[in-house]
Chain A
Amino acid sequence: MCPGCGHRSAFHSIKKALKDSDITVADIGCHTLGYLEPYRMGQVLLCMGHSSGTASGLSLFNNSRRVVAFLGDSTFFHTGLPGIINAVFNKHNFTLIIMENGTTAMTGHQDHPAVGRNFREVTQKVPVRQVLEGLGVENIREVDTYNQSKLTQYVEEALEEEGFKVIIAKHPCMLKFTRELRRKGRPLPNPVRVSEKCNRKYVCVSNFACPSYQITDDGSIWVQKDLCIGDRSCIQTCPSEAIVPDDK
């Protein structure tokens, strides 16, 4: 996943609320990359839009392993709706986390119905939340994924509740965002750097695993400035508070 990706913050936070016995179901999109190390969010993957249906099946007669499904906002519109309607209609018991980044990122940032434009003109927006409400989903939470502690809290809460729960984990695609900034000639924020407070807990490089973080042979951490986009979503992940904006 790209530096600054909202999905990284999401998976880092969601993972904290899950037990090893919980089941994670991935769908297709950039968020699929959460199945890779070190996040390992997504043990089952089938096809576009399957995650709700598969999660529903996995949740049946299952009182011990909680089921969490992921779905991107593009796939939500593409094929995700029937699975959600089914979850409402048959009162399935699982948590669906919609990863809303405002675009179809993996395939090149094509627009989707919630964006408010298509490839040639402005269109009527079809907001994700409104669609969920229209489909009769009652248990909806929404949070910016950069607000990692809040997202962890929401997942913990939802997992304790019965029935079909949806969490909209929202943050704009940062690759698209920085590309647009650069196109407009605007400067990116300064990258971050690792200060002397570093105690080598390695959360930044090995747990949060933003690709900007590099490790030297002697075990010290440095930030590759060609990669860091200055999003600062890593700062909150350091247990030693050692990550700071680089003022130079």
Chain B
Amino acid sequence: MEKFDIYITGVGGQGIGLLSEALLRAVDHSGQRAIGADTHGLAQRGGMVSSHLRIGSGVNSVLIMKHTADMVIALERHEALRGMVNYLKEKGTLVYYDTVWQPLDVRLRKAREIKNEDIERESGKRDVRVIRELEEDLKDARMQNVVLMGRIACDGLIPGVSVDHYERSLSDLMDGDLLTKNLKLFRRLSGRA
């Protein structure tokens, strides 16, 4: 495959680092070439965090140029809008977890909270497919990233990567009870329970 670019975003602390590492490894397990870049440190302290993941033989730089990402994965609603508007190409796919961690301007009452209707409207302008996820009963918020991973696996959103590949990458990164818990959640969502 020439290229498939994924821009992953959210607020520091949501597990974007783990998610992007897991996706990178899943792509690697599928035999495809993958390169990427993470954010650490400063961004974590309540700021926006993003990772770039680029798949395919035709990519050289690890950074995705604006408006060219094939897919944007977001762990929070505001960052989903930001990611889509800045990085997603026309006709691209937006997958987002619909939790709200309001950015500073909203909390300082300088801007209003973004609603799902805003995302619908902006996606319409760009002919973007929107996949919205929310697990109301999720006990541990830190597992929201695995919910998204399950959905991505279930719908086969990353070309060439199967459910097996995702499971193997989770096993690479976790063990013991942590792995068991996350695999259980992943399997429920990926359709292989």
Contact = CB atoms under 8 A, between A and B. Distances in A.
Interface of A: 1-2, 5, 30, 33, 36-38, 105-108, 175, 202, 205-206, 209, 211, 213-217, 224-227
Interface string B12-55: 01000000000000000000000000001110011000000000
Nearest to B108: A206
B67 to A, nearest CB: 28
Interface residues of B, number: 18
Contacts of A2: 13, 45-46
B107 A226 contact: no
Interface of B: 13, 40-42, 45-46, 99-102, 104, 106-109, 112-113, 141
**Contact residues of B: prevailing secondary structure:** loop
Contacts of A214: 100-102, 106-107, 113
A108 B107 contact: no
A224 B42 contact: no
Residue from B45, B100, B102, B107 with most neighbouring chain A CB atoms (10 Å): B107
A209 B113 CA distance: 16
Contacts of A108: 40-41
Contact of A202 (B40, B45, B109): B109
Contacts of B141: 225-226
Contacts of A216: 113
Contacts of A225: 141
Contacts of A211: 46, 101-102, 107
Contact of B109 (A33, A106, A206): A206
Contacts of A224: 100-102
B108 A209 contact: yes
Given A1-B46, A105-B45, A211-B107, 4 more contacts: A213-B107, A216-B113, A224-B101, A226-B141
B45 A227 contact: no
B42 A215 contact: no
Contact of A215 (B41, B46, B101, B107): B107
Contacts of B109: 202, 205-206, 215
B45 A215 contact: no
B107 A30 contact: no
A216 B106 CA distance: 9
B45 A1 contact: yes
Nearest to A205: B107
Q: Which 7 A-B pairs have the closest CB atoms?
A: A226-B141, A214-B102, A211-B46, A205-B107, A206-B108, A107-B41, A106-B41
Given A211-B46, A215-B109, A217-B113, A227 B101 contact: yes
22 contacts: A1-B45, A2-B45, A2-B46, A33-B46, A37-B104, A106-B41, A106-B45, A202-B109, A205-B108, A205-B109, A206-B108, A209-B107, A209-B108, A211-B102, A214-B107, A214-B113, A215-B102, A215-B106, A216-B113, A217-B112, A224-B100, A226-B99
A105 B45 CA distance: 9
Nearest to B42: A106
A6 B107 CA distance: 20
A1 B13 CA distance: 11
Contact of A226 (B40, B41, B101): B101
B121 to A, nearest CB: 17
Given A30-B45, A214-B102, A215-B113, A206 B107 contact: yes
Contacts of B101: 211, 214, 224, 226-227
B49 to A, nearest CB: 13
B17 to A, nearest CB: 11
Contact of A33 (B45, B99, B113): B45
Contacts of B45: 1-2, 5, 30, 33, 105-106, 175
